[in-house]
A and B are shown apart, each in its own frame.
Chain A
């Protein structure tokens, strides 16, 4: 069982890592904003040091982490998760996998670790870039300590991993790449922040995935994120519910659809 699971993981990983267009976009989303952030801040500091502090240090680290884990990283995770969820159907090969006799649930399940492996590889690269910028441009500012570095890494992997898994489930449910990408990015960029900012919704806003994820951030996010506060337990339950429901729906669709 373990051997076949490893082979299936390896096969799904092969499909994803050779999908060059998707990988380039995911890398651009994860790395470019961080590069731009530190470059712009470094230029500002060098041109007007009195007004702008050094680009790096703990403050630069916090800005980079926000950009990577809460904004562009999840977008990259969506691209990867959707490709993993719907890639076989989009290429028309799902039926050829089904006729091997392998269970459809096993086919669905093997997409998840492969998507996470690609997603986290890219996020680790992005995170290393954030760390590099934080130290390289720190000047006289304090730099992140070991605990913050580990917490930040854990948060980045959690934030993007949850979104990636949800994207695998949602894409498998819709079985359409354009639909899944549009809906998930729309939800992430527009609907979630909008719902979180409507104070009249009260505790109903706890159900917004991105808000529950932000609860585990080691840095202060400010803005709309401060509007919604929830306990760690509630945040954990909300995240688990999103993951469980979307995976269950994706698995159900994969199991029951005509291949």
Chain B
């Protein structure tokens, strides 16, 4: 693999579009997935996540746009690009009449000459060594998910593409899966691109994410930035006289919005998070007893709902 390919982003798409007749499943997606990170592709069911993955892997053609995997243009250099890519698309499928080990043998035969030697370590890594010689038809969905990951590892992948990988895993299995992904990324320097509709999962596993809905990437970046929601800083305030404090806060230039909530008063700061100290001083000097002054921690879920709900708003409101 050339030096340029080694330095290139794991995934790069420009204006990638897929149409099924009149319906646009993926709409001009620009995506940049850096190397050596866990990247979440987050969106509700039907958002176009799987279609996007299927295009990246050459399972279906793109209607428009360009894409590169590990620096190689796809589909022009698809064969080279996919040599070091492991993928589980939708639910992991296998030949049910073969054992787990035999199923891996079939895929190893298509990979490089070292792949067969990776079968046993891959099975061990996903905790299936003891069940590897049972027929796959006896496997639970969780075991098939794990076997799917083992199948990915046969390629010694620089990039793993996992489509809804925790479907069917029990809580213990999900925890083990998270740990495995972090080891793949942090200790082995691999890139993991995982699609999910589970916000919590993406927030816990991934370093960065793209939020996708109705075939469009709405935003992308590090998880902390996405969850922070840009420059929006909010406080929850507990005071002895809420009604009067609300008037004081609403009159302050440091406050953009102020309203009552179940937790107390909730305000949006006009400036940075540091202006919280000004708010405290303002309230104390006005004679209020401040019992609580707590920054609101935005979750990715909050941000996700905030972003996707904008789509339902009229166009002018979105621009505002």
Binding site for B on A (CB under 8 A): 3-4, 7-8, 10-11, 14-15, 18-20, 87, 91-93, 95-103, 107, 258-259
Contact = CB atoms under 8 A, between A and B. Distances in A.
Query: Interface SS of chain B: helix, strand, loop or mixed?
Result: loop
Interface in B94-114: 94-98, 102-103, 105-107, 109-111, 113
Nearest to B58: A98
Given A103-B79, A259-B59, A14 B111 contact: no
Contacts of A100: 82, 107, 110-111, 155
Given A101-B79, A258-B60, A11 B95 contact: no
Interface in B62-110: 78-83, 85, 87, 89, 92-98, 102-103, 105-107, 109-110
A91 B96 contact: yes
27 contacts: A3-B113, A4-B109, A4-B110, A7-B110, A11-B106, A11-B109, A14-B105, A14-B106, A15-B98, A18-B95, A18-B97, A87-B95, A91-B94, A95-B57, A95-B93, A96-B92, A98-B59, A99-B57, A100-B82, A100-B107, A100-B110, A101-B78, A101-B79, A101-B80, A101-B82, A258-B54, A258-B60
B190 interface: no
Nearest to A97: B110
Contacts of A97: 106-107, 110
B89 A15 contact: no
Given A14-B106, A97-B110, 17 more contacts: A4-B109, A4-B110, A8-B110, A10-B109, A11-B105, A15-B95, A15-B98, A20-B97, A95-B57, A95-B89, A96-B93, A96-B107, A98-B57, A98-B59, A100-B111, A101-B79, A258-B54
B151 interface: yes
A169 B83 CA distance: 28
Interface residues of B, number: 32
A92 B54 CA distance: 14
B98 A102 contact: no
Interface of B: 54, 57-60, 78-83, 85, 87, 89, 92-98, 102-103, 105-107, 109-111, 113, 151, 155
